[in-house]
Amino acid sequence: MASRAASRTEERNPRTADIDIVPTEEVLRLLNAEDATVAGAVAQALPVLAEVVDKVVECVRAGGQVHYFGAGTSGRMAVLDAAEVVPTFGLDHGVFIAHHAGGDRALGTAMEDAEDDASLGADDASAVSAADVAVGITASGRTPYVAGALTTARLAGAVTVLVSSNPAAPLAGLADYVVVADTGPEAIAGSTRLKAATAQKLLLNALSTAAMVRLGRTFSNLMVSLSGTNAKLRHRQLTILMEATGADEAACRAQLTLCGGDLRLALLCLLSGLEPEAAAKALSAAEGSIRGALADQAGQSRPRFGH
């Protein structure tokens, strides 16, 4: 009982005490009301998360890696974010890496004992270096697997981060940055696949997205670094080019072909009038930022839009 009481995520929620005897729609309203509190809890964590984002940006720019570590639902949230950042932002595989206690098998089958193995976390973190950022994700803030991973990462000299829903997380001492979204007791006591997991999804999405924005992988709010790996995404590339430049579909399609399918390069060419080779050099000099490359070319801070 003392162990359960140590984390608010394990407490009983008085607002849902009658959830098993109310009509179905009321069950859903009770769950929805609890979900509605998550965004506010995440908002309280943003100042620390902003510092983490800046560290991630420094890490990626210097060629480092971002390692996520989690067990159960937390690990699945990590896998999802690390996988989706690749096609969304055209990031190379192996920059964001998710380590899930129990490996691939645990993604679809619960392996609860894996989270209790600190040595497994330590083994998974053995490749972490001083150039990297290690992010441990655990609703309770005490998962042994995450403890092993953060301990090993810290010994390697990496920047360490803890993402938790427990303000009194026991593992806080292992992290340089502690990101807490205090989501409180779950609608079903201890079921952290609910509010705590939703908070983790929001925090990891925000972390990776903000880092990609800072790394110049968006232009305005457009996904200009996405990979055209299927018909839907190739159509989206054309739509983005047309939206950002005002050019017609034929011109955008021709420019994208000329640039070998590189959306950022095609966009810079259309906005600046540069040929692909010169645009590639400008983009490299601006660390991948289209706005930066345009400002360098124009000698001013504001790029022109094609509307």
Q: Which residues are catalytic?
A: 84, 115
Q: Which letter does DSSP use for residue 161 in this model?
A: E
Tell which residue, 171, 185, 267, has the closest CA to residue 15: 185
Alpha helices in the chain (DSSP H): 2-5, 24-35, 38-44, 46-61, 72-89, 105-108, 118-124, 144-155, 195-214, 231-245, 249-258, 263-272, 276-285, 290-298
Distance CA(63)–CA(218), nearest Å, equals 19
Quickly count: other Cβ atoms within 10 Å of residue 300's Cβ.
10
Phi, psi of 253 (to 5 degrees): -65, -40
Specify which residues 97 forms β-bridges with.
67
Quickly count: other Cβ atoms within 10 Å of residue 45's Cβ.
22
> What Å distances lie between residue 4 and 12, 36, 199, 262, CA to CA?
10, 24, 20, 52
Distance CA(276)–CA(259), nearest Å, equals 6
> What Å distances lie between residue 242 and 177, 237, 300, CA to CA?
41, 9, 24
Local structure of 222: helix, strand or coil = strand
The separation between CA 223 and the C-alpha centre of its own chain, rounded to angstroms, equals 15
Token code pair at residue 271 = 């906005």
Phi, psi of 135 (to 5 degrees): -115, 115
